[in-house]
Structure 1
Amino acid sequence: MRTSTVRRVCLSVMAAAALTSVAACGGSDSGGSDSGKSADRGTDKAGGVVKADPIAALRNVQKKTGGERSAKVEGTTQMGTMMSMKQTGVIDWSDGLTGSMEITYTGGSMADAVKQSGGDGTMQARYFKDGYVVNMGDGFAAQAGGKHWIGYRYADLAKMAGASGEAMKQQMQNTTPDQGVKSLLASGDVQKVGTEDVRGVQATHYSGTVDVASLTAKNSALDAGQLEQLKKQFSDAGITTEQVDIWVDANDLLVKKVERGQMKTGELNSTVYYSDYGTKASVEQPPAADTVDFAELLKQQQGAGGAAS
């Protein structure tokens, strides 16, 4: 397989980032500690009475948003100099996570890799309970026996990426929009900022800081060795804390989430909008004859490398 094909194989792994960006780092289902509550009494910009306790308010948001089954999502993600992308689609979390997204790489080394391999930067991704598939386009198919789609199993990605891969697997299989709310609740650090307009909707803004490694470790089923490896991987990447901001509407439904942090390669920034709760997420597996397995592609590349050496 050509080097350009390998670049695009690696690139499509980042479709996982498009999905995990719809949720903050794994939050607690327990609702968090009341130690982070702050006095916030008075009136909002419209003159109405606001809830005094942001913790209590966010628990209502977690319950209402988590109780929904699906939603439209639209957002942008930047991961240092590695990549920037935008994504739009529909996700369903009623029975595991399924859905589809259109992902466009807009900058960074990943976008450069797409251009070098003849792609236009846009891919179609479909997500299922045990993995996902990505349509890599005609350029890839010309080098992969006519197959357009690459299939990824979460279990395979977990094996290849170590502790962070296992954590990612668990997150992707349990991603829901209310994860950002859970993260704030679990952090013990949350404040009500005020009432703001989000795409024509009056929404209440909450903000807090999350310790990424500690919260991910707390809410993942990793053993002691995996936890130690995970912390080292976060440290090597320069990831420590994230600021999480969420906006919720009058019905206690999440309408916007922003995560900001710092990596060794630059800024980590994710913004996601949620709308049309209850939208049906229709997703089908592509034809098997038009799909190649990611693990098999890696074996082929390793074999070609061994033969060349």
Structure 2
Amino acid sequence: MNQSIRKPVVAGVAALLLAAGAVGCGAEKEKSPEMSPAAAVAKAAKNSRDITTLSYRMTGRTPEEGRVEADVQMRIKPTMAMSMKIKALDQGADGTAEIRVVDGAMFMGGNPEMSKEMDGRDWIKFDLSTLGVDKEQMNALGGASSAESNPAEESTFLTGADDLEKVGTEKIGGVETTHYQGTVSLASMRKSYEKEDDAKAREKSLKSLEKYEQMGIDKLLMDMWMDGDHQTKQFRVRGDAEKGKLDVTIAFKDVNKPVKVAAPHPSQVMDLGEMMKEGAEGAEG
């Protein structure tokens, strides 16, 4: 597959995982008593763990690919699935793609140039069982991890900010929100996560932290816009990486509403696992 096509898509998936924070989209209810910034952000982080489905729009800039935008629908429970349409705006035609994750397989398509390389078929399939790879290897391809991880859980990053403060109030998507901001270092975040009592949550958080470390970022400036239900309507993360600036904003839309993701029709799919299997059998013959 054309590397110029795959590279921005994979990086875009990583950007989504790195940039997302706590999420919510409910109507504002009666206001609760004023909470400290730390308590409010911690409550939003806790609320994020109850999310079963979500959709959001990501815009911004990643260190290697430049301007990126994406629309995502994700089902986390009871089974995992995702649909993402992404554009690396500075990559031209090669930077447009769609990714779907269904039943443990990732489908990549939506790019005319890629279709030309696959005899007119529009999708290429990466299947865990067929390829015989583990989850860590699949994560390197940039697809499965985004469906297996609730991006809202990374809101805990902001709880580790020593300078966390309430900036003011703003309307986001027609909803009144409170704007919080803080700067966090990777070292302080790691210490905070290592104290997490929930082993599963701790493991996910530490893996998310590693993604930033691999980018060469040592501190992050984070903004969170929270509604009256202590759910986040918008989240922004900024940092200086080894290969450039990271500046990504996530605007959350629907939460806990039905999400349906269908696999492409088999006639339009090139199965990478089957190709590898046929190639191996041919070599043995």
User: Shared fold (TM-score greater than 0.5)?
Assistant: yes
The answer as to 2:100 corresponding to 1:126 is: yes
Superposed CA offset, 1:3-30 (max 9, x none): xx23223343234235415525xx9xxx
Shift of the alpha carbon at 1:55? 2.5
Q: Tell me the amino acid that sits aligned with residue 269 of structure 2.
A: T
Is the 2:65–2:88 contact (alpha carbons within 8 Å) kept by the matching residues of 1? Answer: no
Map of 1:88 onto structure 2: 71
Contact 2:138/2:144, CA 8 A, preserved across alignment: no
Tell me the equivalent position of 1:8.
5
Q: Any idea what SS the aligned residue of 1:72 has?
A: strand
In structure 2, distance between residues paired with 1:144 and 1:290: 10
Please state how far the C-alpha of 1:270 moved relative to its aligned partner: 0.8
Within 2, Cα distance between the matches of 1:241 and 1:264?
12
Q: Does 1:23 align with 2:23?
A: no
The CA deviation at 1:271 is 0.2
Mapped contact 1:81–1:265 kept (Cα < 8 A):
yes
- Corresponding residue number in structure 2 for 1:306: none
Residue 267 of structure 1, CA deviation: 0.8
Residue 40 of structure 1 aligns with which residue?
none
Q: Secondary structure at the match of 2:245?
A: strand
Count of equivalent residues: 257
| Aligned equivalents of 2:205, 2:247: Cα separation in 1 | 26
Q: Which runs of 5+ in 1 are unaligned?
A: 28-47, 301-309
Instruction: Check conservation: 2:37, 2:165, Cα contact below 8 A.
Output: yes
Structure number with the bigger relative contact order (C-alpha 8 A, sep ≥ 6) is 2
Q: 1:129 to 1:199 in 2, by over 3 A?
A: same
Mapped to 1, the partners of 2:213 and 2:72 lie a distance apart of 32
Partner of 2:86: 103
User: Aligned ranges for residues 19-168 of structure 1 at < 5 Å?
Assistant: 19-21=16-18, 23-24=20-21, 51-95=34-78, 97-107=80-90, 111-112=91-92, 115=93, 119=94, 121-128=95-102, 130-152=104-126, 158-159=136-137, 165=140
Give 1:54 shift. Answer: 2.1
Report the Cα offset of residue 159 of structure 1: 3.2
Matched, 1:249 2:227: yes
Q: 1:200 to 1:220 in 2, by over 3 A?
A: same
Residue 215 (structure 1) shift: 3.9
Q: CA 1:19–1:52 in 2, change beyond 3 Å: closer, same or farther?
A: closer
Match of 2:260 among 282, 301, 309: 282
For residues 49 and 281 of structure 1, the distance between their equivalents in structure 2, rounded to whole angstroms, comes to 31
Asked if 1:174 corresponds to 2:149, the answer is yes
Q: Counterpart of 2:263 in 1: which secondary structure? A: coil
Structure 2 SS opposite 1:159:
helix
The verdict on how the C-alpha distance between 1:57 and 1:221 changes in structure 2, with shifts beyond 3 A counting, is closer
Give CA deviations for 1:208-245 in whole Å, capped at 9, x if unaligned.
Answer: 2233477468543799xx9xxx97x8667432111121
Summarize the Cα distance change of 1:203–1:234 in structure 2 as closer, same or farther, 3 Å threshold: closer
1:251-266 counterparts in 2 under 5 A? 251-266=229-244
Moved more, 233-242 or 246-255: 233-242
The whole-number CA distance in structure 2 between the counterparts of 1:100 and 1:90 is 5
Amino acid at match of 2:78: D
Q: State the Cα deviation string for residues 62-88 of structure 1 (Å, max 9, x = none).
A: 333432322331121311342321111
> Percent identity among equivalent residues?
22
Task: Give the AA of the match of 1:173.
Answer: E
Q: Name the CA shift for 1:7/1:203 in 2 (closer, same or farther; >3 Å).
A: same
Contact 2:185–2:218 (Cα < 8 Å) also in 1:
yes
